[in-house]
Amino acid sequence: MGTVVDAQNMKYGRKVIVVFVLGGPGSGKGTQCANIVQHFGYTHLSAGDLLRAEIKSGSENGTMIQSMIKEGKIVPSEITVKLLQQAMQESGNDKFLIDGFPRNEENRETFESVTGIAPEFVLFFDCPEEEMEKRLLSRKQGREDDNMETIRKRFKVYMESSLPVVEYYSSKGNVRKIDAVKQVDAVFEDVKAIFNSTIEKVAPYEDFPTSLNTKMP
- Coil vs helix vs strand at 42: coil
208 is in an annotated binding site: no
What are the two backbone dihedrals, phi and then psi, of residue 4, each rounded to the nearest 5 degrees?
A: -105, 120
135 is in an annotated binding site: no
Residue 43: beta bridge partners?
96
- What CA–CA distance (Å, rounded) separates 83 from 66? 15
* Total count of residues recorded for the chain: 217
26 is in an annotated binding site: yes
209 is in an annotated binding site: no
29 is in an annotated binding site: yes
14 is in an annotated binding site: no
- What CA–CA distance (Å, rounded) separates 4 from 14? 10
103 is in an annotated binding site: yes
- What CA–CA distance (Å, rounded) separates 24 from 134? 13
82 is in an annotated binding site: no
93 is in an annotated binding site: no
187 is in an annotated binding site: no
102 is in an annotated binding site: yes
75 is in an annotated binding site: yes
217 is in an annotated binding site: no
> Amino acid letter at 66?
Q
User: What residues are designated binding site for ATP?
Assistant: 26-31, 139, 182
User: What residues are designated binding site for CMP?
Assistant: 107
User: What residues are designated binding site for a ribonucleoside 5'-phosphate?
Assistant: 52, 73-75, 100-103, 143, 154
User: What residues are designated binding site?
Assistant: 26-31, 52, 73-75, 100-103, 107, 139, 143, 154, 182
